[in-house]
Chain A
Amino acid sequence: MPSKRKVIALILNILKYAFLIAGAIFTVLPFVWMIASSLKTPAEIVQVPPAIFPKAAQWSNYKVAWNAAPFAKYLLNTVIVTVCTTIGVLITTVLSAFAFSRLEFPGKKLIFSLFLATLMIPGEMLIITNYITIMKLQWIDTYQAMIVPWISSVFYIYLLTQFFMQVPNELYLAAKVDKCSDLKFMLRIMVPMNKQAIITIAILNIISSWNAFLWPLLVTNSDGMRVLSHGLIRFQTEAGASYELIMAASCILVMPIIIVYLFLRKYIIEGVTRSGLKG
């Protein structure tokens, strides 16, 4: 006969799993509901009581939604903005992190603390003036308006500087003796040695650029310049589309990032964790 203690332990264990599974269901429910709704017929969408899953998956909803608004153009814009921003971020981040971790120059400490101090400033304070700047540059409704202000991130610079610091200085001094230039050392030694950190930064930036909403909304006004998140909102509010189509369009925005996440979650989880622990 099992002892009383064992029974209690068993019950606790079952409760533990029950709670975790309930929480997991609560977490994925919106995703399930989104995918299931995107495959329903218009009649199933307004069915009372709602059925979670459709009787037959209506894949044609995706085709209809895709053609109902210029989603191909939105997707292209999102990809252009995401790719360009990420490349820009990587270049400026590597250069700055290298300067802060290896080069000596007057005012280095001051500039570094100035950089860090800007992390405290909420973006909401800056957005009005930045909008005016973009307007004065006559960049409204252009790609550069969505890209240029975001190609440098103090947060990533700080993160990569920490990684670069861990590379032993002897390597740098040895390279100096061999008359290896700074630029060459950075590209041939520092970058490959910190490949993982750089990939993490790239992925984190891809996610935030892909999901960006407010800034693209402010600085673009023609339909041809909209990004996916902006297009999705317009699709919902202006086109008055029915919900199975809106859910299909939401899937188009959400799924690429979820796929990236599922394949590269190691990098993402590590990157976010590290940023949290260092913060």
Chain B
Amino acid sequence: MEKKSFKGYLYLLPSLIIMVVFTLYPLIKAVVMSFLGDYSIIDGSYKSIGFENYQALFADKNFIKALCNTGIYVVFVVPCSIIISLFIAVLINSKIKGKAFFQTVYFLPYVTSVIAIGIVWSWMFNSEYGLINYILGFFGIEPIQWLNQPQYALPALIIFAIWKSMAFNILIFLAGLQTISEDLYKAARIDATPRFRVFTRITVPGIMPMIVYASIMGMISAFKVYNEVFALFKGKAGPANSAITVVYYIYDKFYNSNKYGIAAAGSIVLFLIILALTQVQLRVTGKRKKK
């Protein structure tokens, strides 16, 4: 064995510096900032220490609305995206022609700029000239004011987000499906097991780890939704703030109203929610595995 030396640090130095300056230090600072009332970033002065920012946060109707919206968004986007993606992945993985073609097409949204394609979606949602109302017209549905009426803003955002998030899930599921042994399917065929049973007894358990992974990753990124809102509503949070999300709220407090303490407190609430939910999810799926 080579004796231990400090040479390793030389190799690590560039990453270490970046990590300390742009990750560790801001992490600690964010926690501290969230407890300081009226914090100023110019001279670092503050008026009080305590839970003032957190109180202000939960007294703000907009923050509560942002929390609710984000919750609704997560509840719709993550399961819908996973179920549809799973279905598509299973179909692509079955004996079909043009596997590579379908895989390439379905992955396209993943590599595309959310901003650019979000602007395209806002144009598709246009109530007068948009493609979506035109297609709905075939089914006898009256034009919907997708982006101008508060009750439709969040559904529009959810549809766009499902479209965008499916790409990653399909890819992960496809990779998972390929790891399931062909023998299991052969045995099922010999026993003439019905297709649905094959799906619930072999396919789903086989890619359970990917489903857990996709749902955790999907949930984390869904809680942080921001760019989608920005692109769809021209930098605003929808008509009458109807599509405001937690991260939108945080950036608005930080960048536009300069309430640094409140913004920091908001980011910590967000982190705690994400942390708690991923823990719950890991527990639940971990227990199921043991059974």
Contact = CB atoms under 8 A, between A and B. Distances in A.
Interface in B99-131: 102-117, 119-121, 123-124, 128-131
Contacts of A233: 115, 119, 230-231, 234-235
B33 to A, nearest CB: 7
B116 A128 contact: no
Q: Which 3 A-B pairs have the closest CB atoms?
A: A105-B8, A129-B26, A99-B11
A210 interface: yes
Interface in B201-251: 210, 213-214, 217, 220, 224, 226-227, 230-231, 234-235, 247, 250-251
A132 to B, nearest CB: 5
29 contacts: A16-B96, A30-B121, A31-B117, A47-B129, A95-B11, A96-B12, A99-B8, A99-B12, A104-B2, A115-B15, A118-B24, A123-B224, A124-B271, A125-B30, A126-B27, A133-B22, A152-B14, A213-B113, A214-B226, A214-B227, A233-B119, A237-B235, A247-B120, A250-B120, A258-B112, A272-B110, A273-B171, A276-B168, A276-B172
A98 interface: yes
Interface centre among B113, B121, B176, B271 (most CB of A within 10 A): B113
B88 interface: yes
A48 interface: yes
A229 B235 CA distance: 12
A1 interface: no
B111 A258 contact: yes
A25 B225 CA distance: 25
Nearest to B22: A149
Given A125-B30, A218-B255, A27 B163 contact: yes
Given A128-B260, A133-B26, A210 B121 contact: no
Given A126-B23, A135-B41, A272 B113 contact: no
Interface string B14-43: 111011011111110110010000000100
Given A103-B7, A121-B271, A250-B116, A49 B137 contact: yes
Interface in A84-111: 91-93, 95-96, 98-100, 103-106, 108, 111
A53 B163 CA distance: 22
A104 B5 contact: yes
Interface residues of B, number: 96
B252 to A, nearest CB: 12
A95 B15 contact: yes
A250 B217 contact: no
A273 B264 contact: no
A159 interface: no
B6 interface: yes
Interface in A161-184: 176, 182
A45 interface: yes
Interface of B is mostly: helix
A200 to B, nearest CB: 13
Interface centre among B16, B166, B174 (most CB of A within 10 A): B16
A257 B113 contact: yes
A50 B120 contact: no
Interface in B263-291: 263-264, 267-268, 270-271, 274-275
Contacts of A211: 112-115
A130 B33 CA distance: 13
B108 A28 contact: yes
Interface centre among B26, B128, B168, B213 (most CB of A within 10 A): B26
Nearest to A106: B4
B196 interface: no
A81 interface: no
Interface in A234-261: 236-237, 243, 246-247, 250, 253-254, 257-258, 260-261
A148 interface: yes
Contacts of B19: 115, 118, 152, 154
Nearest to B160: A30
Interface string B132-144: 0010010000000
B88 A23 contact: yes
A37 B123 contact: yes
Interface in A8-50: 16-17, 19-20, 23-24, 26-31, 33-34, 37, 45-50
A189 to B, nearest CB: 15
Interface string A42-70: 00011111101000000000000000000
Contacts of A75: none
Given A20-B102, A253-B116, A279 B6 contact: no
B185 interface: no
Nearest to A254: B116
A122 interface: yes
B241 to A, nearest CB: 17
B68 interface: no
Interface centre among A103, A132, A261, A273 (most CB of B within 10 A): A103
B112 A232 contact: no
